[in-house]
Structure 1
Amino acid sequence: MALQISRGWSMPQINAALDSIGQNQLGYCIKDWQRDGAANLLSGNDVLLLIETGAGKSSLFYLYALARPSEVVIVVSPLKLLEKNLVDRLKSLKIRAACLNADSLIHAQQDGRDIWRECARGEYQVIICSPERLSSDEMDKLLALPQFQTRVGVVVVDEAHLIPVWGKEFRTAFNAIGSLRSRLRSSTVFLALSATLIPGKPTESVTHSLGLAGPRFCYIKRKCTRSNLYIIIRRICHSISTATFGDIEWIMFEIELRTEDDILLMKKTIIYVDNIAQGYRLTLYLRSLLPQNLRHLGSKIIRHIHASTCSKCKEEALAEFSRTDRLSLLRYIVASEAFGSGVDVGDIFRVINLGTPRDANSALQRGGRAGRKIPKGELIVYVNARTWDGVQQHLGLLDRRNSKRAKTQDSDSSENKISICSYFRRLLEAHMKRNCLIQTIQEIYGDDPTILRDEVGSSRPSRRRHDGALKIRRSAHRGPGRMTKEITAKAQALLLELVTDLWLCTPATSATQFEGPDAYMSAEKQSLLVKHIRDLETPGQVRCVLGTDWPYWETHQDQLNAEIQQIRRSVVQDLQANYLKRQAELQKKTSSQLARGPDSEYNSESDVTSAGSDSSDSESIDVPLADIMQATEPCEHSETHQSERLIIRLPARSKASQLVDTTSTQH
C-alpha cells in the first residue's frame, strides 16, 4: 500500500517518509536539497529551486506525487518534445500521467477517448501541458469543476527562467501562469524550477509573476555552475548565411571515417542554430562531408530537429539519440530551441551554439545538455564576427594590423552596434581578458566560488582538444578534406619504400644483420608518420613523432626530413585534386537537382552569399530573395506534418527564380 503523507504531519515525520519513498520507490537515497524541497511543498510552502542542469530537479514533484497519490500535480512544460518522455518516466514509477497537447488529444479522439473527461474523473495523478494549453477554454472548464479543483495539490513551472525571456513577446502565455492561483484553492502550492535563473531582476520577475512571496515561500539556491563542462568561445570567421559552414566542418574530421563501425566513435553532439533554413543548410553540408561510402547513411548519422518537425520524428530522434548501447548511428543533431531545455541524454559530449546567443541563460541551458552522465562535456559558443570585434575594440584588444577588421569596426561605430545580453558580454569579455569563465559564471549566478580551478576548463582553451601525449600543430597548408583509403595507402607505400632504402644504406652490425626494416623504424612509428603526414612541416615535428631516442638521427636526419616533405607534398596534392573533383561533382549534382525541381535534396557547396551582403558579417538572415526554392526531406509520417515555408538560398546564377509551394516534410 502506497504511503500517504498527511498535511498534519510534522517535518521530522515528513522527512522520514520521504527517505522511505526515495529508497523503496525511486530506488536511491534522496539528497538533502531534494528532501528539503519536497518537505516544504508537502508542508504547504511554495518553492523556487535553482540548481545546475542534470541534478534531478524533477524529483521534487515525483516525491510529491508518490507521497500524495490522491492529489493532482499540474506540470507546465515549455517543450512538447519533453512531455512524452516525462509521461514514460512517471509511468515507470507507477505514477499515472497524461500530457495535454494536440497530438495526444487527437490520438485519444481516434481511440474514442476524451482526455479532458479522464482528467475530470481523476484518472491521472500528473497532468502535463504547455502555458498556452493552460490558458485554453478546455482547461478553464476543467479547473472550474469543484471535485477537480480540490484535488490539485501543486503546480510545477519547469524552466522558470523562460518567464521573463519568452513571456514578453514570443510566448506571452508564460506571463499568465501565475494567474492560475486565482482559479485554485489557497492551499495549492507552486514549485518553480530552473538551472539558469540569474539573481536580481530576472529572479524578481519570476517570483512576482508566480506570486512567490511571504512566509509560505521557500527559496532553495544550490550551485548552478557545472564543474565538468568545458566552455569554449570562438569567433565566427566564415559566413553562416551560405551553403557551407567552414567554422564547424572540423567536427566531421575528428574521426577517420572508413566503415560503419567508425561512426560509433563520433562524439554525440547537438548543434543549435537560429532558424530552420540555417539548420537545413548546415545539415546538408555536414552530410556532404561524409565519405562517399557512408553518405547513404547521412540521414541516420545527422538529423535536423525543429519546431515544424513532426512529433513522431522528434520522438524517434530523441529515442535513438538516448540509446547508450553504442549501436546508434545518430551522432549529430542540428536543432532549434525545440530540442533545447530539459533534453536529458546522458552521454552527449558536445554542444555547439552557432551564432551569438540571445543571452547567457540560453547558451548555458543549451550547454547543460552535455556531460550529464559522463565525466566531461563541452560547450562551444560561436560569436558573430561584428559582435566579437566590437567587444575587442571596446576593450582595446582589436588587432589594428588587420586593416579590414579595424576599418569595419571604425566605420560601424561599434559601441552603438553591439546589442547583446549584458551577462553574455561579461562572459565574452572574461574570455578575451583571459579570465576564468567558470568564475565569471559563478559571479553571474551568485554561486559560492569553491570549485577548484583544475576541475574546470581554461578560459582561453586551445582551438581543439587532443587525446594522448602526441600533439602536432595543424598545418595551415594541410590540404582540404579527409585522408581517403587510397591516399593513405599511397602514403604508406611511399614511406615504406623510403624506410627500406634508408635501411639498406645503413651499415649492418652483428646485432642487426639478420633484422629487417622494421628494426630501423617500427610499424607503429610508420603509422604515426602517415597519420600526421599532412601536418609535418618541420624537422622538429618529425622528431616529435619518432621520439628523440630514435638511434638514426645523426646519420639520416637530413635525408629523412627531405623525403618526408616529398611524401607530404604528394599527399596534399592528392587531397587538393580530390577536393576539386568533389566540388565539380557537387556542382553537377546541384545543377541536376535544380533542373528536376524542389523535391530533390539541395547540397551545393558553392558560394551563395546574396548580392550586396558582406561575407564578413556571419549572422544568418533568411529572407525571400530573387533565387529561392522550397526544400523538402522525406518523412515516413507525412500525414502528421503541417505545411511549412522553408526558404533556402541558391547561387545568384541558378535558374530557380520562383518559390514552389509544397508541403515540407523535413526532419
Structure 2
Amino acid sequence: MSLDSSATPRKFTFSSPEGRALCKKILAESTPWPHEPHDFQLEGACKALDGIDVLAVTPTGSGKSGLLIIYMLLYSAIANDPALCPATQLKVKNPAMVFVCPTKALQYDMEPKFRANHLATVVINSDTVEASQRANREGKKSLWKQVTTANVIILAAEQLKTKEYEAALNDPAFTSRVVAFGVDEVHLLGTWGAEFRPVLRQIGNIRVRMPGSPILIGLTATLQCGTPTKAVCSFLNLHEGTFHLIRLSNARHDVRIIVRHMQSGLRSLRFPELDWVLESERKIIIFCTTISFGFRLTCYLWHRARKLPGRSDRIRMYNSLNATAYNAHTLDFMHNDCRSRVTIATDTLSVGIDAANTDDVILIGDTPGNTDDILQKGGRIRDGRGRDSRLIIYLPKSAVANADIALGLKEAKQSRAKANPKAKQAGSVKTTEMDVSVARFITAPCKVSIIDELYDNPIDTLPCHCVTCTLNPPTPRADPCNCSECAPEPVPQQAQAAAQPKPKPVGRSFCSPKVTKAMRRYGVRRLVLFRTWLWDCMADDLRFGFTNSDDFLPDTVIAHFFDSFRSIQSQEDIPLAVLEHHLVADYHEQLFVIVLELRAKFTEMHRITLAERKLVAIFKEKSKLSVLLKPTGRLKKPTHARKGLSKITIKIPAHPPAVKAPPAANGLPALTIKIPGRQKLSDTPGIARASS
C-alpha cells in the first residue's frame, strides 16, 4: 500500500496556504499582473484552479474582473512552465475562456482590460459580426475563426444559440482549449432572463454541453440572499456543496444615498428639479427608465445650457438607439474628459461600466424595478472617496403610496379610498405593482441598514491584506449613518425647485384640460400664415432660394408646438416647443407673440363654448326644448319649431353672469341668442337672425 501511494502523485491544492503563497509568487514573477491581488481575487482564482465552480458576490468597483484575469494568467503560466508547480494537473498549453457579458458597453469595457494583461481577446456580438461582414467577403466566418487562437472570447448571450457557436463546439481546436466559462452580472438571469432575454436562463445548460466540463465563474455585485440566490444557482446548474461562494458586503460607504421626490410628472417637458446639475461643475450620470423620458430630459437640459461651452460633448445620451460610434465617443468622454459633464443613459449603461471620473449618479423617472437596479446604477461611481459622491434617487409622487400597498398596508389603502370614494368608483385611483424589496427600501428608516438586510451583508468583514487596501483602505460605514433618512438634507437644498414660487402662467385664463380640435385648427392656420410670411421674408436670401415654404416650419413641428402649448410660459420655452428648429431660431420673439394671441383667442372660444352649453342645458330643462349642438358649436333648428310663436331674445355680455331661463310663453318659445364674435346662428322661420 505504501508503494502504491508513493507512486501516485498527490494532487496539489491551490486553495491551501502553500498554494496561495505560490500563486502570489507566480503572479509577481511570471505574469504581467501589476500589483498584489485582493484576498477575494486570490481565493476565487485558487478555487477555480482546483476545479471548483465559483460564485463571487462583491461590491461594484471591487475588481471582480480581476479574478478572471488572475485565473487565466496563473493557469497559462503554470501550464506553459510545469516547473512552477510540478504536482499540478493543469495541462492545456494555450488555455481559453468563454466569457458571457450582458451588455455591449460591458463587452467593450472588458476587452482592453484583458488585452492589457497579454491575453488575446475577441468580442463577438451583433455589432462586431456586422462590421466583419462589411470588412471582407467571409464575413462572420473570419470573426469566429479567431476563437481557435484567442485566450478570452467575450460573447453576447444571444451568440450562444447561433450556428457559428454550434460549429465551434464541434471543433476540437476550440473545445480542447476551453478551461473556464465566465458569466458576468449573473443577477440578471432572474430579471432580464424572465422579461426579454430568455437565453440568459439557458447558460448553465449550454456550459454543461461543452466537452470537458470547464469550470464556471459567476460574478455580480447584487444578489439577494434566499430565493434570488437559489434561482440563479439553478439557472447556472450550481448545486449546494459543489461550488464555492464568496460573499462580501456590497454596501458602498463611499457613496451617500439620498432619496428625493420628483416635482415634475413622468410626461413632463420641464424638469426644474435637475437645474442644479448644470451649475454643480460635477461629472454626473442620469439614468432614465425609458429612452423617451431620457430624450425629453436631454432636450430640457440642452436648452437650459445653450451658453455652455462644448455643449455637444458635455451633455450626451447613451442608449441602444444611438449609433455605435456615438456611444463609443460617449464612453471615451466619460473615461478621459476631465470637464464637468452630464450623461443621460438607460439600462444599457447600468452594469459593469466603471467611469473613474464620475461624481454623482441620479435615478429619475419611474420607480426602480428592484434594489439590484439601484445598487448597480449607483456602482457606476468607481471610487467616491474624496469626491463627496452621491446616489440620488428621485421617486415619483405616487411611490410611497404604492410601496405601502406592495407591503400589504391595507389601512393606508382603505383610508385613501374613504377620503375619495368617487375617484375609486370612477377608476381614477391607479396603482402599479412594485417589487417588495423596493417597497422596503422606500419605507425603511435607514437606507443602508435595509441594504445590509436584503443582501445578507456581513457586519464585520475581514479587511483585505493586500498592499493596495492597506495603504488606501475602503471607507468604513459612517457613524452616524449619512443617508438622507438618518441625516436629512437642509430644506433649501432638498426642495430647491419646490421652494421657489411658480411663475404665473401668461395668458392662461381658460381651464380646458387640453387644446381642443377647433382651437388646434385655428392655431394651425395661424402658424401656416406665419410660415408663409417667414418664407417671403427670406426669399431673397441665396441660402434659402430653393427651400420650400413648408420647411421653414414643418407640420411635425407645428403638431409638437400644440402638443406642448400649455407648457409655454415664456419666450425661453419656444425653442423646446419647436424642437430647436434652426430656421426659426431668430424668430422666437415673434412666435411668443403669436402664443399670446392664440391664448387670448382660445380663451374667448372656450368662454363661448361654455356659455352655449349652459344655455342649451337651461332650455332643455325649463322649456323641454330639444336643441341639438353641432360639432362647430352652432345651434341647429328645432324639429318642432312653429310659426307665430313669441320670440325671446337673450343678450350675453362679454363676461356673462349666471343666466336664468326666461318664463315660457304660450306654446314653445322661439329663441334668438346674441353672442359676441359669432355670426347668425339660424335663418329659419321661427328663429330670428342674430349677428355679432
For 1:552, the equivalent position in structure 2 comes to: none
**Does residue 118 of structure 2 align to residue 94 of structure 1?**
yes
Instruction: Specify which of 270, 281, 285 is matched with residue 300 of structure 2.
Output: 285
For 2:333, the equivalent position in structure 1 comes to: 320
Distance in structure 2 (CA, Å) of the matches to 1:79 and 1:235: 30
**Does residue 64 of structure 2 align to residue 38 of structure 1?**
no
Task: Compute the displacement of 1:426 (Å).
Answer: 0.5
Structure 2 SS opposite 1:148: helix
Q: Is the 8 A contact 1:242 1:609 kept in 2?
A: no
For 1:348, the equivalent position in structure 2 comes to: 358
For 1:300, the equivalent position in structure 2 comes to: 313
- Map 1:121-200 → 2, pairs under 5 A: 121-122=148-149, 124-200=150-226
Task: Compute the displacement of 1:14 (Å).
Answer: 3.9
Q: Is the 8 A contact 1:598 1:630 kept in 2?
A: no
Letter in 1 for 2:554: G
Please say which of residues 71-80 and 175-184 is displaced more in the overlay: 175-184
CA distance 1:180–1:17, shift in 2 (3 Å): farther
For 1:62, the equivalent position in structure 2 comes to: 69
* TM-score, normalised via structure 1 length: 0.64
* Cα distance per residue 1:481-512 (max 9 Å; x no partner): xxxxxxxxxxxxxxxxxxxxxxxxxxxxxxxx
Instruction: Specify which of 231, 239, 246 is matched with residue 257 of structure 2.
Output: 231
* Cα distance per residue 1:502-540 (max 9 Å; x no partner): xxxxxxxxxxxxxxxxxxxxxxxxxxxxxxxxxxxxxxx
CA distance 1:42–1:141, shift in 2 (3 Å): same
* TM-score, normalised via structure 2 length: 0.62
What number of residue pairs does the alignment pair up?
486
Distance in structure 2 (CA, Å) of the matches to 1:441 and 1:293: 41
Distance in structure 1 (CA, Å) of the matches to 2:558 and 2:26: 53
Letter in 1 for 2:246: I
* Cα distance per residue 1:340-372 (max 9 Å; x no partner): 101110221211111201111111111111252
CA distance 1:282–1:412, shift in 2 (3 Å): farther
Q: Is the 8 A contact 2:132 2:142 kept in 1?
A: yes
For 1:105, the equivalent position in structure 2 comes to: 129
Computing the radius of gyration from Cα coordinates, the structure with the larger value is 2
Task: Compute the displacement of 1:221 (Å).
Answer: 0.8
For 1:16, the equivalent position in structure 2 comes to: 21
Instruction: Specify which of 375, 400, 413 is matched with residue 388 of structure 1.
Output: 400
- Map 1:487-498 → 2, pairs under 5 A: none
Distance in structure 2 (CA, Å) of the matches to 1:16 and 1:403: 66
Task: Tell which has more relative contact order, 1 or 2 (C-alpha 8 A, sep 6+).
Answer: 1
Distance in structure 2 (CA, Å) of the matches to 1:189 and 1:315: 33
Q: Is the 8 A contact 2:204 2:235 kept in 1?
A: yes
Distance in structure 2 (CA, Å) of the matches to 1:306 and 1:43: 41
Distance in structure 1 (CA, Å) of the matches to 2:123 and 2:580: 30
Q: Is the 8 A contact 1:601 1:633 kept in 2?
A: no
Instruction: Specify which of 66, 77, 87 is matched with residue 101 of structure 2.
Output: 77
Q: Is the 8 A contact 1:599 1:632 kept in 2?
A: no
Show structure 1 runs of 5+ residues with no match.
Answer: 1-5, 256-265, 481-571, 578-587, 611-628, 635-652, 655-667
Q: Is the 8 A contact 1:97 1:127 kept in 2?
A: yes
For 2:284, the equivalent position in structure 1 comes to: 269
CA distance 1:596–1:158, shift in 2 (3 Å): same
Letter in 1 for 2:347: E
Distance in structure 1 (CA, Å) of the matches to 2:350 and 2:497: 36
Structure 2 SS opposite 1:248: helix
Q: Is the 8 A contact 1:371 1:377 kept in 2?
A: no
Letter in 1 for 2:148: R
Structure 2 SS opposite 1:423: helix
* Cα distance per residue 1:448-495 (max 9 Å; x no partner): 2356442742342677579xxx99996977578xxxxxxxxxxxxxxx
Letter in 1 for 2:224: I
Q: Is the 8 A contact 1:196 1:365 kept in 2?
A: yes
For 1:419, the equivalent position in structure 2 comes to: 433
Task: Compute the displacement of 1:249 (Å).
Answer: 3.0
* Cα distance per residue 1:298-332 (max 9 Å; x no partner): 322211111111111111100111126x2x45x11
For 2:538, the equivalent position in structure 1 comes to: none
Distance in structure 2 (CA, Å) of the matches to 1:220 and 1:170: 29
Distance in structure 1 (CA, Å) of the matches to 2:391 and 2:565: 29
Q: Is the 8 A contact 1:224 1:447 kept in 2?
A: yes
Q: Is the 8 A contact 1:390 1:414 kept in 2?
A: no
For 1:556, the equivalent position in structure 2 comes to: none
Q: Is the 8 A contact 2:417 2:424 kept in 1?
A: no
Distance in structure 1 (CA, Å) of the matches to 2:96 and 2:269: 50
Structure 1 SS opposite 2:271: coil
CA distance 1:279–1:452, shift in 2 (3 Å): closer
**Does residue 373 of structure 2 align to residue 362 of structure 1?**
yes
- Map 1:381-530 → 2, pairs under 5 A: 381-391=393-403, 417-430=431-444, 435-450=445-460, 452-454=477-479, 456-460=481-485
Q: Is the 8 A contact 1:46 1:190 kept in 2?
A: yes
CA distance 1:251–1:189, shift in 2 (3 Å): same
Letter in 2 for 1:108: S
Q: Is the 8 A contact 1:426 1:440 kept in 2?
A: yes
For 1:614, the equivalent position in structure 2 comes to: none
Distance in structure 2 (CA, Å) of the matches to 1:222 and 1:106: 40
For 1:597, the equivalent position in structure 2 comes to: 554
Distance in structure 1 (CA, Å) of the matches to 2:418 and 2:182: 52
Distance in structure 1 (CA, Å) of the matches to 2:116 and 2:10: 26
* Cα distance per residue 1:132-163 (max 9 Å; x no partner): 11121111110121221111111111000000
For 2:239, the equivalent position in structure 1 comes to: 213
Percent sequence identity over aligned pairs: 24
Q: Is the 8 A contact 1:389 1:409 kept in 2?
A: no
Distance in structure 2 (CA, Å) of the matches to 1:221 and 1:633: 53
Q: Is the 8 A contact 2:254 2:384 kept in 1?
A: no
For 2:605, the equivalent position in structure 1 comes to: none
Letter in 1 for 2:45: A
CA distance 1:240–1:472, shift in 2 (3 Å): closer
Q: Is the 8 A contact 2:561 2:578 kept in 1?
A: no
For 1:519, the equivalent position in structure 2 comes to: none
Task: Compute the displacement of 1:395 (Å).
Answer: 6.1
Letter in 2 for 1:9: F
* Cα distance per residue 1:87-145 (max 9 Å; x no partner): 112111111101001222233344447444533532x1000011111121111110121
**Does residue 322 of structure 2 align to residue 309 of structure 1?**
yes
Distance in structure 2 (CA, Å) of the matches to 1:472 and 1:162: 33
Task: Compute the displacement of 1:609 (Å).
Answer: 8.1
Q: Is the 8 A contact 2:192 2:198 kept in 1?
A: yes
Show structure 2 runs of 5+ residues with no match.
Answer: 1-8, 77-93, 461-475, 507-526, 532-549, 568-576, 583-597, 600-692
Q: Is the 8 A contact 1:7 1:42 kept in 2?
A: no
